[in-house]
Amino acid sequence: MTVSVDKPVVPESSRADWFTSYDVEAFETPSGREEIWRFTPMKRLAGLHTGAAATGSASVEVDAAPEVRVETVERADARIGQAGVPADRVAAQAYSSFTSATVVTVPGETKASKPTTVTVTGPGAGQVAYGHLQVRAELFAEGVVVLDHRGSGVYADNVEFVLADGAKLTVVSIQDWADDAVHVSAHHAKVGRDALLKHIVVTLGGDVVRVSPTAAFAGPGGEVDLTGLYFADAGQHLEHRTFVDHAQPNCTSNVVYKGALQGDDAHTVWIGDVLIRAAAEGTQTYELNRNLVLTDGARADSVPNLEIETGEIAGAGHASATGRFDDEQLFYLQARGIPEDQARRLVVRGFFHELLMKIDVPEVRERLEAAIEAELAAVGA
Amino acid sequence: MATLEIKDLHVSVATDEGPKEILKGVDLTVKAGETHAIMGPNGSGKSTLSYAVAGHPKYEVTSGSVTLDGVDVLEMSVDERARAGLFLAMQYPVEVPGVSMSNFLRTAATAVRGEAPKLRTWVKEVKAAMGELEIDPSFAERSVNEGFSGGEKKRHEILQLALLNPKIAILDETDSGLDVDALRVVSEGVNRFRASGESGVLLITHYTRILRHITPDFVHVFAGGRIVESGGKELADVLEAEGYVKYAGKQEAASAS
Please answer yes or no on whether A339 and B164 come within 8 Å at the CB atom.
no
| A-chain residues near B82 (CB < 8 A) | 334-338
| B-chain residues near A326 (CB < 8 A) | 94
Residue A323 has pLDDT above 90, yes or no: no
Shortest CB distance from B164 goes to which of A327, A337, A343? A337
Residue A167 has pLDDT above 80, yes or no: yes
**Statement: B3-248 belongs to CATH 3.40.50.300:** yes
How high is the pLDDT of residue A2? 34
Looking at per-residue pLDDT, the higher value among A303 and B251 belongs to A303
Q: Are B227 and B27 in contact (CB under 8 A)?
A: yes
d(CA A372, CA A366): 10
Give the residue from chain B lying closest to A353, CA to CA: B98
Please answer yes or no on whether A337 and B88 come within 8 Å at the CB atom.
no
Share of chain A above pLDDT 70, in %: 96
Instruction: Mutation target for B interface from A1, A325, A331, A358: give the one with most B CBs within 10 A.
Output: A331
How high is the pLDDT of residue A12? 59
Q: What is the mean pLDDT of residues B68-83?
A: 98
Please answer yes or no on whether A353 and B90 come within 8 Å at the CB atom.
no
Beta-carbon contacts below 8 Å between A and B: 81
Shortest CB distance from A332 goes to which of B55, B93, B143? B93
How high is the pLDDT of residue B152? 96
- What is the least distance, in Å, from the CA of A270 to any CA of chain B? 22
Residue A378 has pLDDT above 80, yes or no: no
Looking at per-residue pLDDT, the higher value among A1 and B219 belongs to B219
Residue A7 has pLDDT above 60, yes or no: no
Residue B257 has pLDDT above 90, yes or no: no
* Each residue's pLDDT tens digit, A269-310: 999 999 999 999 999 999 999 999 988 899 999 999 999 998
* Chain A residues interacting with chain B (CB cutoff of 8 angstroms): 326-329, 331-340, 342-343, 346-347, 349-354
Please answer yes or no on whether B79 and A337 come within 8 Å at the CB atom.
yes
How high is the pLDDT of residue A358? 87
* Each residue's pLDDT tens digit, B25-42: 999 999 999 999 999 988
Domains of chain B, by residue range, sit at: 3-248
One-letter-per-residue 3-state SS of chain B? CCEEEEEEEEEEEEECCEEEEEEEEEEEEEECCCEEEEECCCCCCHHHHHHHHHCCCCEEEEEEEEEECCEECCCCCHHHHHHHCEEEECCCCCCEEEEEHHHHHHHHHHHHHCCCCCHHHHHHHHHHHHHHCCCCHHHHHCEECCCCCHHHHHHHHHHHHHHHCCCEEEEECCCCCCCHHHHHHHHHHHHHHHHCCCCEEEEEECCCHHHHCCCCCEEEEEECCEEEEEECCHHHHHHHHHCCHHHHCCCCCCCCC
Q: Are A247 and A218 in contact (CB under 8 A)?
A: no
Q: Quick one: pLDDT band at residue B245, thresholds 50, 70, 90?
A: confident
How high is the pLDDT of residue B225? 95
Shortest CB distance from A336 goes to which of B57, B82, B95? B82
ipTM of predicted assembly, 2 dp: 0.95
* Each residue's pLDDT tens digit, B91-109: 999 999 999 999 999 999 9
Shortest CB distance from A334 goes to which of B82, B95, B98? B82
Residue A6 has pLDDT above 80, yes or no: no
Residue B149 CB partners (closer than 8 Å, separation 6+): none
Residue A39 has pLDDT above 70, yes or no: yes
Q: Quick one: pLDDT band at residue A1, thresholds 50, 70, 90?
A: very low
Please answer yes or no on whether B108 and A339 come within 8 Å at the CB atom.
no
pTM: 0.85
- Tell me the residue type at A115: P
How high is the pLDDT of residue B251? 63
Q: Across chain A, what does the average pLDDT equal?
A: 93
Looking at per-residue pLDDT, the higher value among A10 and A32 belongs to A32
> Partners of A101 in the beta sheet?
A73
